[in-house]
Structure formats: structure tokens, C-alpha cells
């Protein structure tokens, strides 16, 4: 029997680490694509339609701010999701937890497509919308960290950042799907778009979730989680362990995520609203600008993981982030011209630096936290950043624009986000290197 199992490669295939690593990467990519599709569908709708249908006001600016506030609600809930699902992921396993997050997100997004508007149900409509957005945020709070951890822990040694980048590709892919869905639907006449067209991208989520569930269920639990369970080293209360022993790591992790998260909302949510309401673009025209930029991001982003693997990590971070300080002002200047071609160039240019960094960031965070609290630690870092920085980007941008009358105030906010990210990312890498050096010295001492 032993001989036959050795001779039969198909018998070994399900347990082949390289094959499982590929499957984990693909499952993480597909799962996060669907989750981000759902999340970005809301942000696009918030910029285009939700203010008018769910938050009617005599002032379009107030309606847009209210829609962006409901958008932020999803970010407020994400740390809760990070804690709840991080706990489950570090206790019962990465795979089971990720199946739950995918189902919850799909339910919420599909339900949004069936909601009555303010004109049909009064105040009940925005209340239901905000409730579903809260649940969406909780699901997203648990999804990202689990997908990164699953692909990172299945990765061959030394390739954790590369394999974590599979999960990161889900963000531009999901964003592209959501933007294309609204781009197609926005071609409808205004009356049809406002009555039923906007619902279609939300309803599509149900089909995507079925595909994602099929792929995700075929992946094994991660080797690191299996080892923790086998050695009875699973932490009883992961969030307590993180807050007791890893607070500084979380703080650095939050800062290291800032522009990687907020850049998307500078480009898509805020810039879309600004371009359509203030510059004179129509919605279809500017959605095509965003679509082009996302395609650029999708193509360029994986090279960030390659750079971070091949170069010294600190140098790679500097090379990837510093150009964003120049690219972000250029983007807004190009949009302000009102030219579709120039806006496309500016947005594509500004997409490159933060996209490269975003690919490397996930693996960097995963390596910073120990396996016992990895799911909780990276989820908390990412989702607190989302709540404090990314979710507030459209609101702050709209407020600054209204208060100053100048886009330069929004540009300044973006540059501050880049500087915070650069400083914290370099601090996090220094901390990682010192921890690795301590571990090596400890291992040598034990051998001696």
C-alpha cells in the first residue's frame, strides 16, 4: 500500500504543499474580490445615487455628505468584525471563519438591492441601509485578515509577501468589477438608472458568492493553524493577548496601512463626486476614468510584492511611497482640467505608487505578528486604519473642499496620509528585524 501511494501522484496531490499554497492563493484572491466588489459597490453608489434616494435634502452637498457618512458606518463596524472574526480565526481556524464572512457579506449586499427608498418607506429606508452597511463592515473586518493569513501561512518559506499579494489583488479586482457594473448601468436613461438600474450591481453579489463559496471550501486549513491546534498552543482570548503584548505593533500597523487604504477613496469615492458635481464630468465619463486607473492598478500591483521580496524591505517601501507625494497633486490637477484623457493619465499615475505598496503591505503585517494572534493582530491594524483614515477620506475631503473652496486642502490631506504611512511602515520593519535577530540569537543559545 505504501509503495502504491508513493507511485501514484494523484494520491499525494491533495496534501502537496505547493498545490495547497496555489489553491490558498487563488481562493484568497477570489474571496477578497467578491468581498471588495460588495464593499466598493456601496462606495460607488454613495457617490452617485444613495444621497438622492435615501437622504433627500434641499442641498445636494448635505445629501452627499449624509451618503458618505453612511459609507463611513461600514468602516466603523470593521474593527468589530476584526475582533469577532479574528477571535474565531485564531481559535477555530482560518478556513471556517472565511466561509462565514463571505456568506454574511453576500447576504447584506444582495439585500441592499431590494431596499425601498426614502420616497417609498420614509425614514425606515435609510435606517435599513445603515444597518446593512454595518453588517457589511463587520464581514469585511473579518475577511481581509483571514484571506491574508491563509495565503501567507500556506506560502513556501521566504515567499510570504508574494503569496499574501494574492489576497491584495482582490481589492482592485473587486473595485474594477463594481465600477464596470455601475459604468454599464449608468448608461441607462436617468429615470431607469434611479428607479431600478442602481440595484443591479447589488443583486449580482448573490451569484458571485456562490462561486466564491465553491472555491473557498476546497482549500485546506493553514499549516500554522494545524500546528497550533496539534500542540495545544491556541490562545484562549486572542484580542486580550494582542492588547497586552502587541499594542505597539498594532499602532505601527495602523499607521503603515493609511495611504494604502485611503488612496482608493481619494480616487474613487471623493474624486468621483467632485468631478461629477463640481468639474462638469458626467457619471459615465468619469467612471470610465476610474475604470482605466483600476486596470492600471490591477496590472502594476503584483510587482510591489516582487520588489519587497527582491530588495531590502526598507528601501522598497521608500521607492514605492515617496512618488505618491508628487503623483497625488498631479492627479487632482489633471481632473480639474475637465479633460477625460488628462484625468485618466493623472489617476493612472497616482495609482502606481500606492498599488505597489499595497501588494507588499499585507505580507509585511502578517510577518510582524506571531501565529497565535496573527488573524486578530493584522485585522485590528487594518480595520482601525480603515475606520480612522480610509472611511473618513470622502467626508473630510468634502468638508475641506466646502470649507476652503480649494482642492489644495484635499491634496494636503492626501500628502499627510502618505507621510504617516512612510514613517510607520519603516518603524514596523525595524521592529520586525529586531524581533528576527532576537529569535535567531535565542535559537543559537538553545542549540549551544
Q: Using an 8 Å Cβ cutoff, are 287 and 177 in contact?
A: no
Rg (CA), the chain: 22
Q: Does the pLDDT of residue 13 top 60, yes or no?
A: no
**From 1.20.1250.20, 2.60.120.1600, 2.60.40.10, 3.30.70.3170, which CATH number describes the 18-438 domain?**
1.20.1250.20
Residue 403 CB partners (closer than 8 Å, separation 6+): 409
**For residue 5, what pLDDT band results from cuts at 50, 70 and 90?**
very low
Q: What is the 3-state secondary structure (H, E, C) of 411-432?
A: HHHHHHHHHHHHHHHHHHHHHH
**CB contact at 8 A, 94 and 222:** yes
Residue recorded with cell 500628502: 415
- And the C-alpha cell for 101? 464572512
- What is the grid cell recorded at 70? 453612511
**Exposure string (b/e) for 185-208, b if CB count within 10 Å is 16 or more?**
bbebeeeebeeebbbbbbebbeeb
pLDDT of 6: 40
- Are 167 and 98 in contact by the 8 Å Cβ rule? The answer is no
Q: What CA–CA distance (Å, rounded) separates 94 from 227?
A: 13
Q: pLDDT by residue (tens digit) across 84-132?
A: 999 999 998 998 999 999 999 899 999 999 999 988 988 888 889 889 9
- At 294-341, the pLDDT tens digits run 999 999 999 999 999 999 999 999 999 999 999 999 999 999 999 999
d(CA 401, CA 419): 21
As a whole number of angstroms, the distance between CA 444 and CA 448 comes to 6
How confident is the model over 213-228, as a mean pLDDT?
88
pLDDT score for 35? 84
Task: For Cα atoms 322, 267, 420, give the angle at the middle one, nearest 5 degrees.
Answer: 35
C-alpha cell at 211: 462561486
C-alpha to C-alpha distance for 225 and 314, rounded to whole angstroms: 29
**DSSP state string for 140-205:** HHHHHHHHHHHHHHHSPTT-HHHHHHHHHHHHHHHHHHHHHHHHHHTTS-HHHHHHTGGGHHHHTH
Alpha carbon distance 137, 104 (integer Å): 10
pLDDT in tens, 168-207: 998 889 988 998 898 899 889 989 999 999 999 999 998 8
Lowest model confidence (mean pLDDT) among 31-40, 65-74, 294-303: 65-74
The pLDDT of residue 432: 84
pLDDT at 264: 86
CA distances from residue 205 to 24, 97, 112, 275 in whole angstroms, order as listed: 22, 19, 10, 27
Q: Among 426, 374, 298, 385, which Cα is nearest to 85's? A: 374
* C-alpha distances in Å from residue 306, one per residue of 164, 311, 314, 359, 431: 11, 8, 14, 9, 22
Instruction: With H, G, I as helix, E, B as strand and everything else as coil, classify residue 233.
Output: coil
Q: How many CB atoms lie under 10 A from the CB of residue 4?
A: 8
CB burial of residue 33 (10 Å; 0-12, 13-18, 19+): buried
pLDDT for res 7: 42
Residue 76 neighbours by CB distance under 10 Å: 17
User: How much of the chain exceeds pLDDT 70, in percent?
Assistant: 92
Domain boundaries of the chain, sorted by first residue: 18-438
- Whole-angstrom distance, CA of residue 268 vs CA of residue 263: 9
HSE of 311 in the Cβ direction (CA atoms, 13 Å)?
15
Which three cell numbers, joined as nine digits, stand for 374?
Answer: 496573527
Amino acid at each position: 500500500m505504501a509503495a502504491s501511494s508513493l507511485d501514484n501522484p494523484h494520491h499525494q496531490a491533495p496534501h502537496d504543499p505547493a498545490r495547497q499554497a496555489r489553491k490558498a492563493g487563488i481562493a484568497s484572491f477570489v474571496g477578497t474580490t467578491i468581498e471588495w466588489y460588495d464593499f466598493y459597490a456601496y462606495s460607488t453608489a454613495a457617490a452617485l445615487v444613495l444621497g438622492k434616494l435615501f437622504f433627500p435634502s434641499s442641498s445636494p452637498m448635505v445629501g452627499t455628505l449624509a451618503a458618505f457618512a453612511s459609507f463611513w458606518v461600514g468602516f466603523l463596524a470593521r474593527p468589530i468584525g476584526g475582533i469577532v472574526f479574528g477571535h474565531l480565526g485564531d481559535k477555530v481556524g482560518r478556513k471556517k471563519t472565511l466561509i462565514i464572512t463571505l456568506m454574511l457579506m453576500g447576504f447584506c449586499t444582495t439585500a441592499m438591492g431590494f431596499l425601498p427608498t426614502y420616497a417609498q418607506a420614509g425614514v425606515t429606508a435609510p435606517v435599513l441601509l445603515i444597518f446593512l452597511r454595518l453588517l457589511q463592515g463587520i464581514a469585511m473586518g473579518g475577511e481581509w485578515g483571514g484571506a491574508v493569513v491563509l495565503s501567507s501561512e500556506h506560502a513556501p518559506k521566504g515567499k510570504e509577501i508574494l503569496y499574501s499579494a494574492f489576497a491584495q489583488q482582490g481589492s482592485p479586482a473587486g473595485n474594477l468589477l463594481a465600477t464596470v457594473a455601475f459604468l454599464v448601468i449608468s448608461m441607462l436613461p436617468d429615470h431607469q438608472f434611479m428607479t431600478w438600474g442602481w440595484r443591479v450591481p447589488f443583486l449580482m453579489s448573490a451569484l458571485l458568492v456562490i462561486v466564491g463559496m465553491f472555491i473557498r471550501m476546497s482549500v485546506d486549513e493553514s499549516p500554522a493553524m494545524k500546528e497550533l491546534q496539534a500542540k495545544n498552543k491556541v490562545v484562549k482570548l486572542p484580542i486580550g493577548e494582542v492588547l497586552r503584548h502587541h499594542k505597539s505593533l498594532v499602532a505601527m500597523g495602523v499607521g503603515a496601512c493609511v495611504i494604502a487604504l485611503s488612496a482608493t477613496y481619494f480616487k474613487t469615492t471623493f474624486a468621483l463626486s467632485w468631478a461629477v458635481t463640481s468639474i462638469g464630468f458626467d457619471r459615465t465619463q468619469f467612471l470610465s476614468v476610474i475604470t482605466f486607473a483600476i486596470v492600471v492598478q490591477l496590472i502594476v500591483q503584483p510587482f510591489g510584492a516582487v520588489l519587497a521580496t527582491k530588495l531590502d524591505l526598507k528601501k522598497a517601501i521608500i521607492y514605492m511611497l515617496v512618488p505618491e507625494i508628487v503623483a497625488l497633486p498631479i492627479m487632482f490637477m489633471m481632473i480639474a482640467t475637465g479633460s477625460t484623457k488628462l484625468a485618466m493619465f493623472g489617476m493612472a499615475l497616482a495609482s502606481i505608487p500606492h498599488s505597489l505598496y499595497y501588494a507588499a503591505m499585507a505580507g509585511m503585517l502578517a510577518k510582524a505578528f506571531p501565529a497565535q494572534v496573527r488573524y486578530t493582530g493584522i485585522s485590528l491594524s487594518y480595520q482601525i486604519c480603515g475606520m480612522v483614515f480610509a472611511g473618513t477620506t470622502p467626508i473630510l475631503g468634502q468638508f475641506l473642499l466646502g470649507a476652503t473652496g480649494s482642492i489644495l486642502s484635499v491634496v494636503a490631506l492626501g500628502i499627510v496620509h502618505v507621510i504617516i504611512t512612510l514613517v510607520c511602515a519603516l518603524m514596523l520593519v525595524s521592529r520586525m528585524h529586531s524581533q528576527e535577530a532576537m529569535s535567531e540569537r535565542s535559537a543559537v543559545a538553545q542549540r549551544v
